[in-house]
Structure 1
Amino acid sequence: MLEKLGERYTKMLEIDVDSGKDEELFKWLLASILYGSFLPEKIATRTYLEFRKRGVLTPQAILNAGWEGLVEILDSGGYVRLDFKTAYKLSEVSKNLIKWYDGSLNKLHEKAQDSLDLENRIKALGKGVGHVTTCIFLRELREVWPKADPSLTKLEILAASNLGLISSKDPRQAVQELRNFWERNKVPGFNFISFETAILRLGKDYCKKSLCKNCFLSQYCVTSRQQYFHKK
């Protein structure tokens, strides 16, 4: 599972969040906003690469591009169903990040009182920056920011529950259960972030779509086994 689904998004996009540099963190926030929608991962990836190709990767560059310029970039990447809404969201996030934190995500983290306050500050940057986007963003920063400790999303809970890795449906308790499982079953060459990423992709690409027959982990899936015995 880790080899097939566990590649970190930041590694795939060549974003060095582990450096802790503001410019790299903002690139990842931009990408997280794109990944946070219902659109397929490949469209979000392609759209981020359009932003990178055009050098629109900072809060000021996004504001300079303007609403029409952002819509054009989003459309070029295939983000057409959410182009207007996302262009506004990116503009608002960039404007508020500059206004409140001098354009620095590290400063945002410093001002946060704890992990929950950190999540709320990120969500407050713009309308439409919700739980899913915030979790996607903070997941990759677990080893960079001390206060980055996001809970699980619904898709992660769905996939982890199907595999019998967790029993709780509470996002906060569920992430601790998943972490405990990882600590007992670590795989060399991977970390908890990779494990979470694999669980997310499993939930998004298979569990959410009920593609049990096509899933390479169906033999380990509680839901898949229940469906099999129910048919018998």
Structure 2
Amino acid sequence: MSEAVETAARLLRERGQTYAREAGITLRDKPAPLYQLLVLTLLCSTRIHADIATAATRELFRAGLRTPRAMADSGWQDRVDALGRAHYVRYDESTATALGRGAELLLDRWRGDLRRLRGEADGDRAAVHRLLQEFPRIGPVGADVFCREVQGVWPELRPSFDRRARDAAASLGLPADGDALGALVPGPELPALAAALVRVELS
């Protein structure tokens, strides 16, 4: 086993929890978990600590806001209150607005199903990235987060390692090239490796 493969395996053991898993999302290629990942992505798209973003995601889900229809039908104050309970306070009001508008966009354009966005992109990674940025608050970094996590169930996005993950890889003596990094672990484990590298970079 090469040193790089051993390092990747150690990263998976020590830090390989995806952010989706931390937020309580069992990610599958189904409408509800894909939407839940979009919620997490939106919450991660502000200058706020990842732990607070994942806690806020769990709080929204505890409030029953697990689908775009539930989010769109919820009251703005209910969303603000859920975010506040997780101490997601600096951006709570604007984020509550973005959550509502994003849910409405998903319902209106893709009938509440991000698999339709995937179909519109037709296997084009750049198109997925561009379409995700049509949601309020989600920019290039947020689109990177979504692609990094969803590559486990959308194989056409593999490998997805954003700048943070690649920088961390280089600091650990691993390849900084996405394809070379992706060759270190089986495809389904790529989200965990990407998350582990981001956790290294953030620490």
Q: TM-score, normalised by structure 2?
A: 0.84
1:177 aligns with 2:186: no
* Distance across 2 between alignment mates of 1:165 and 1:88: 41
Q: CA deviation at 1:85?
A: 2.2
| 1:114-133 map, 5 Å | 114-126=124-136, 128-133=137-142
1:197 aligns with 2:200: no
RMSD value, Cα: 2.0
Contact 1:118/1:147 (<8 A) preserved: no
Task: Structure 2: state its 5+ residue gaps.
Answer: 1-10
Contact 1:26/1:105 (<8 A) preserved: yes
Contact 1:63/1:94 (<8 A) preserved: yes
| 1:9-158 map, 5 Å | 9-18=19-28, 20-113=29-122, 114-126=124-136, 128-149=137-158, 151-158=160-167
Identical aligned residues as a percent? 27
Show the counterpart of 2:7. Answer: none
* Distance across 2 between alignment mates of 1:145 and 1:79: 30
Contact 2:42/2:138 (<8 A) preserved: yes
Show the counterpart of 1:171. Answer: none
Q: CA deviation at 1:67?
A: 2.4
* Distance across 1 between alignment mates of 2:59 and 2:83: 8
- Count of residue correspondences: 191
Q: CA deviation at 1:129?
A: 0.3
Larger Rg: 1
Show the counterpart of 2:6. Answer: none
Task: Structure 1: state its 5+ residue gaps.
Answer: 168-173, 206-232
* Distance across 1 between alignment mates of 2:64 and 2:73: 11
Contact 1:5/1:198 (<8 A) preserved: yes
1:27-47 deviation digits (Å, cap 9, x = unpaired)? 111112223333222211221
Q: TM-score, normalised by structure 1?
A: 0.74
* Distance across 1 between alignment mates of 2:36 and 2:109: 18
